[in-house]
Structures are given as C-alpha cells and as structure tokens.
Amino acid sequence: MADGKLEDKLAGKIVDAEELSKEFKEHSVAEFFKKNKQMLGLYGKVRTLTTVIHEYVTNSLDACEEANILPDIDVKIDELGSEYYEITIKDNGPGLTEETVGKALGKLLAGTKFHRMMQSRGQQGIGSSGCTMLSQMTTGKPIKVITGTGDGKTISLQLSIDPKRNEPKIANKKDLTKNFRGLAVQAKFKGVLYRDSEQGALEYLRRTAIANPHAQISFRDPAGQKITFKRTLNKVPERPKVVKPHPKGVTVDEIVTLAKYTDSRKVISFLKKDFDRMGQKSVESIGKKVQFDLNKDPRQLGWDEAEQLINAFKEVDFISPGGDALRPIGEAQVGKSLQSIVDPEFLTVLTRRPQVYAGGFPFQVEIAIAYGGKAGRTVSGAEGMEKRLEIMRFANRAPLLFDAGNCAITKSVHSIDWKRYDIKDVDKAPLTVLVNFVSVHIPYTGAGKQAIADEDEVIEEIRLALMQSGRKAGRYISGKRKEREKQLKRELFYKYIPEIVMALNELTGTDKKLLQKKLETMVLEKLRLDEAEEVEELEENSTEENKKGEDDEGKDKKAKGKK
C-alpha cells in the first residue's frame, strides 16, 4: 500500500495474499529503463555523452544505408553550462514520416530492426528513445526534431515520452516550407561531460569513420574546433538480406516457438521454409533420424520431438551460412582506412568465411593487425611518450568503446600467445588490432551494446582469425628485428676493424690498406652466410606456421562437427 498501511501490517502481523495483491502493478518498459538507465549504458558523465552520440549516429548510418544514400552526418556539441550540453545531429537520410517519428524517437522497443534477421547496427529499438527519455529526465525539456522526406513535406516538432504508457508526446508540430531530406535532432542533457579522450565522442567518430569509409562525418566540439572525416569510398555497401535461422545453431525452444507461428502445414515444409540451407536431401536425412512422421502439423510439435530435430541437425552436414545476410567492411576498405588514419609500417587484413553461433545466427569476423607507424595507443610512460596495444572493437561497423574487459573480442586478443609471433610483450607493442564482428544478431552482454558475449563459437572464430593474421605480422616483425640485429652486428664489426688493422700491421708489417680491404671482405662474407642461414630458417618456420594454421582449421572443423 502506497500510504504505508501494508508496511504497518508487515511490522507485526501476517498479511494474506488478498492484501498483497492490492500492491500488484504493471509497469511500462519506459518506466523500467527510467529507473535502470545504466542498463542502456547511460551512466558515467563521459560515457553517457558518448553513448548518446553513438545512438544517434548509428541510427543515421542504418537509415542512409537502407535507403541507398551515401551518409553525410553532422554532429555538434555545445556547452550550455557546467556539465550541461546541447547535442545536434543531422543526416541526409530518408527522414521519418509524421506517423513514425514519434514511435522511432519516443517509444522504447519500437522500430524496424528487432523482428528481422538482418544485419544492422541497432537491434532493439531502445537507443534513440532512451536518449529522448534521458534528456527529459535531466533537463525537463523535450527534444526538437526536424524531419523531411525530400518530397516537399518537412515538419518540425517537440517530442517527449509518457513513461507510464511508453508513448510519445508530440507538441508544437509545424509544417516548414523548405524542402529538406533527412533527420535533425537537437537534445539537451545535464550531468554529462565532454572529454577528448579514448572514450570520448571524437574517438568514437574517428573509429566510426575507419569502419564506415562510405560515410562523411563532420564534427564540431564545444570549443568550436571542427574536424571532418571524409569518405574514401563513393559507394553504399550492398544492403544485407533478411535471412532465416541456420539449423546448426538453433535451440529446442526456438524450434517450438517457430513451429507455433509457421504457415506450413507439415514439418517437412516447415523445415524447408523457415530455416536457412535446408534442402530436400537434408530433410530426407533428418526424417531417418527422428522417431516421428515429418508430415505432422508443426504446431503440434512437442518438446521431445523438437529435441529429436535438434539432435538430427547435429548429425547432418549443412552448407555454411550464405554471405547474403552479412556485409563486412571488406579487406581493401579496412586497409585503406587504417593506412589513412593509422599509417602503419606493416598491415595485414583478413575477412573470415561466415560461421554460425547458438540461435542459428550467421556471423563473420574481420581482423586487421597494424604494426609500427602511428599504430597503438600513445601514453605517457617513464621515458616519455610510449606506445601500447590498442584494440579497436566493432560490432556491425559500430565502435565499442566501453566494457572492454567483459567483451569476447578483448578476451580473444589476450588469449593469444603473441610471443609465437615475435611480439615479446603485446601490451607494450606499437600494435593496433581491429576486430569487426558482423552478424544479423549481435550477442551483446546488455542493452548498453558495448560488449559481445562469450559465445564459444564466437571466441574460437576470433582466435583463429587472430592466429592467421598474427603469423603474417610475426614474419614482418621477425624480419625487422633480424635486420636491426644484422645492422648492429655490421656496425660492431666495422667499429673494431681499424684497431685490428693497426695491431696486425705492427705484428706482420702488412700494408694497412690491404689489411683493411681483406677484413671488410671477411665481414661481408660472414654477413652473407648469416643471411643465407636466416632465409633457410625463415622458410622452415613458414612451412611450420602454415601447417599449424591448417591444424588449427582442422581442429576447428572437427570441434564444430561434434557440436
């Protein structure tokens, strides 16, 4: 009881169920997240501001790509007072209609992405609405929106959320005469802080530019400084297709749930229609491994029968998930972006084949290892500015700046024995490791979408990609180290030649110039022999590394076959 009567009764009396039921209330999802905004990543002053930028920018990128438009995104941050900022983000996307603008920006768990198995940065329909709610919670003010569809109809409005009903509230809606295509959002936030740091808005946009070379992003910070990350690719990535779950990763519960809502009248047609890579031969093979008739109505499937299907799936060799659903950045574009921004001495980029993890979700891993140059994080050390390992984490091209310790990407990087690749202390190496995890459904650890869960298949695939790329990086680093050692050896030999010449001249009386020439010839011959031995050793190591890589691949396939 809100008036405290229930608490009085609980103090010394037994309260019956009838009395307790009077306190039973339903709550909207907006009320839940209003009390638990940290679950959306909205905690910490710097983190909150960066998360707001993240939510708006990812929405703009997704909208532009779905409309086949090269994104132009303008981000401005104005400081209005102590820990008080106004954020303005404008894009050139398709805009929102009058009917959808309220739901898209003012209703949590509403959107176009959650119900589709299609690759996108956003997934849950929470982010932008969560920002609207945060602005309302910290300033008491609505956000301002201008949206235009490019057909002459442009509207401006103010938007807030009714948390009790999880419904948008629109005020001051006006029709504008200007022809505008895109979406502009202006929102004010208190209790946040802008910092030019590794987890700040500028670093987020820098990494977004690396992973999205087709986008042009302009940024103005609170001090009025402007920076533009220009696009290096004048082509919108091909739109990924909506796909069905792959049978190798689906669970019993998902089988039962899908079966209840299928339009198919037989399990045979249900398997063919509702699953990826399910052909006639696969269905026939499954039919021999289950103890019920596949002509049965799928809506009558019981839990035991669904378990039989799952066990049969494990014994059938399905084709790997297709690439139609996944859109990685691409090796050429990752390389071009890193060369432009990191400018490393050495760079290797790898895009692995699609795989599948629990739930039947296809995924793909992209890896880049950059060494030397501007690679790595620059930090202040005992001997001045030093380089440290930098891990750039991405999920569907969106940077992940927080919760690194809980992320499958970070754990995979630190699980590698980097000494095998001639990197003695990886944490102190001038090394940038970029990992982009691509999937129709990212297994985030929370609604804040900053860390990827430790799915076994995900960890193993990232590890294999890192080892494959690490071998190439190791050969370069080993070669560079040996070249440095050779140079030091040459300098050492030549340093002592004059002293040896003087001693031999006094002992033998031989001409100094002749002695000098013979000793230099001996040094060069010695260095040539050492070089020949190094080449032979390098070829042997390369063969061993390739064999190790094949063994790793073989173990991976065998392990997946058992699963």
- CATH number for the domain spanning 64: value is 3.30.565.10
For residues 58 and 122, the answer to whether their CB atoms sit within 8 Å is yes
* Together in a domain, 201 and 274: no
Domain that holds residue 431: 323-472
Given this model, what pLDDT does residue 82 score?
Answer: 95
User: Domain ends where: 292, 315, 338?
Assistant: 315
CB atoms within 10 A of CB 237: 18
Asked if residue 21 belongs to a domain, the reply is no
* Together in a domain, 387 and 487: no
For residues 294 and 287, the answer to whether their CB atoms sit within 8 Å is yes
Given this model, what pLDDT does residue 269 score?
Answer: 93
Q: What is the mean pLDDT of each run of 10 residues along the chain (563 residues)?
A: 51 65 56 58 83 91 92 97 96 90 76 51 63 88 91 89 82 90 95 91 93 94 95 85 79 90 93 89 92 93 94 87 79 88 90 81 91 87 80 92 92 93 89 92 82 92 94 82 67 75 80 80 75 61 54 50 44
Beta strands 72-81 and 216-220 are: parallel
Beta strands 431-439 and 361-371 are: antiparallel
For residues 379 and 497, the answer to whether their CB atoms sit within 8 Å is no
* Together in a domain, 40 and 164: yes
Q: Is the dihedral of CA 360, 61, 133, 192 positive or negative?
A: positive
Rounded Cα–Cα distance for residues 114 and 344 (Å): 38
* Together in a domain, 225 and 269: no
- Crossing angle, helix 45-66 and helix 201-211, to 10 degrees? 30
What is the token pair recorded at 218?
């302009």
Structural domain count of the chain: 4
Rounded Cα–Cα distance for residues 335 and 178 (Å): 41
- Crossing angle, helix 303-315 and helix 280-289, to 10 degrees? 120
Rounded Cα–Cα distance for residues 181 and 149 (Å): 5
Asked if residue 27 belongs to a domain, the reply is no
Q: Where are the beta strands (DSSP E) in 39-71?
A: none
* Together in a domain, 488 and 397: no
Asked if residue 187 belongs to a domain, the reply is yes
User: Domain ends where: 426, 449, 472?
Assistant: 472
Q: Give the contacts of 331 (CB within 8 A, at least 6 positions apart).
A: 349, 350, 351, 366
* Together in a domain, 172 and 81: yes
* Together in a domain, 293 and 346: no
For residues 61 and 212, the answer to whether their CB atoms sit within 8 Å is yes
* Alpha-carbon radius of gyration of the chain: 30
Q: Give the contacts of 150 (CB within 8 A, at least 6 positions apart).
A: 94, 95, 179, 180, 181
Of residues 391, 70, 365, the one with CA closest to residue 213: 70
* Together in a domain, 449 and 481: no
Q: Is the dihedral of CA 271, 274, 275, 281 positive or negative?
A: positive
User: Domain ends where: 295, 315, 335?
Assistant: 315
